[in-house]
Amino acid sequence: MNPLPQGIRSRFVPGINGLTMHVLEAGHEVANRPALLLLHGFPELAYSWRKVMVPLADAGYHVIAPDQRGYGRTTGWDGDYDGDVGSFRMLNLARDALGLLHALGYSSVAAVIGHDFGSPVSAWCALLRPDVFRSVVLMSAPFGGAPLLPKAHETAPARSIHDDLAALDPPRKHYQWYYSTREANENMWHCPQGVHAFLRAYYHHKSADWKQNQPYPLESWTAPELAKLPTYYIMERDKGMAETVAPEMPSPGAIAACEWLPEDELKVYSAEYSRIGFQGGLNWYRCMTDPKYIAELQLFSGRTIDVPAAFIAGRNDWGIYQVPGAIERMQKSACTRMSGCDLIEGAGHWVQQEQPEQVTARLLKFLSG
């Protein structure tokens, strides 16, 4: 995998919860260092951490970033839409993380750090095994806590949020439920513009480079409020994600000027997704939107994250507010030792790629505390 920065190695670790995990490492040359586990999101890879790994290693850590289940060069997972979807549920993803650390000889890590969909995985790791994951940093996706048990005699409303979104003008739909559909993978994998152009537009659309990303808190989980989110979150009902992001494709000049994701680095992503498609990552969304797997997590209703915790996101990231009230619940109740929320200027959703120096500084400040 090139272009990997000097100081990062790539290797495969077999026998992890049915997987052979592809892992990037920095700081591996020195034994008995405290470890950091970095968990990526969608549609990303271990490679997403390339800009912060060496600086963290230089500060004295063994930095470990796997391609998670369903992604990149990690193998052993079921990529069939009709296959073993349950293997992508949150508790099994946390089991993957625990298994990787065990395989590498670690009984604990100084911190688990997760971005985007890696953020809830990191949160569940810290909530379930605080003895192993001794602190947690959540990035771009706030953790509002374990799902609550239903109240006595509580019944589902006659109309769903999806009915209300579809009734808007123009009709809309929520991206997480779209990502749970059978057609989502085909739409992105075999789109007319090709995977490379699709990813360029997608990453641009959610970054600080797309100047319309000026997020603010939403008042409630209602269709009129959710419709204020950009179309990459609340999509037009009759468009797939490939059609949603295509009009936002940056100009050749803007692509050439993009320092945080130049073409040779984007090709690492596009090569992997062209090869394996998106279904592995999309299966995570299917588990998150399936009431059966939400009910499983209700076992931990009211359980808090009691290890030191921090939150980092880009100032221009709508992900902070896509679930109204989540960032407030994270600070007030879900995490009992929250040290603060850092919103980084000049970054959108891909914060550790857009502003890696600032992210590294925030991480090292948290870890030293």
pLDDT mean values, one per 10 residues, the chain (369 residues) = 85 98 96 96 98 98 98 97 97 98 97 98 98 98 96 80 96 98 98 98 98 97 97 98 98 97 97 98 97 96 98 98 96 96 97 98 96
Q: State residue 1's pLDDT score.
A: 47
Burial class (CB in 10 A: 0-12, 13-18, 19+), 6: exposed
3-state secondary structure of 308: coil
Contact 278, 241 (CB under 8 A): no
Q: State residue 63's pLDDT score.
A: 98
Distance CA 367, CA 363 (A): 6
Distance CA 195, CA 87 (A): 26
Q: State residue 66's pLDDT score.
A: 98
Q: State residue 54's pLDDT score.
A: 98
CA distances from 339 to 35, 46, 134 (A): 20, 26, 14
Q: Does domain 8-150+300-368 have CATH number 3.40.50.1820?
A: yes
3-state secondary structure of 42: coil
Omega before 43 within 30 of 0, i.e. cis: yes
Distance CA 16, CA 20 (A): 6
Q: State residue 152's pLDDT score.
A: 80
Residues of the chain with CATH 3.40.50.1820: 8-150+300-368
Distance CA 94, CA 90 (A): 6
Distance CA 57, CA 61 (A): 5
Pull the structure tokens for residue 4: 């990997």
136, β-bridge pairs: 112, 309
Pull the structure tokens for residue 220: 């409630």
Q: State residue 2's pLDDT score.
A: 58
Q: What is the 3-state secondary structure (H, E, C) of 218-236?
A: CCCCCHHHHCCCCCCCEEE
234-236 and 172-174 as β-strands: parallel, antiparallel, unpaired? antiparallel
DSSP structure class, residue 212:
T
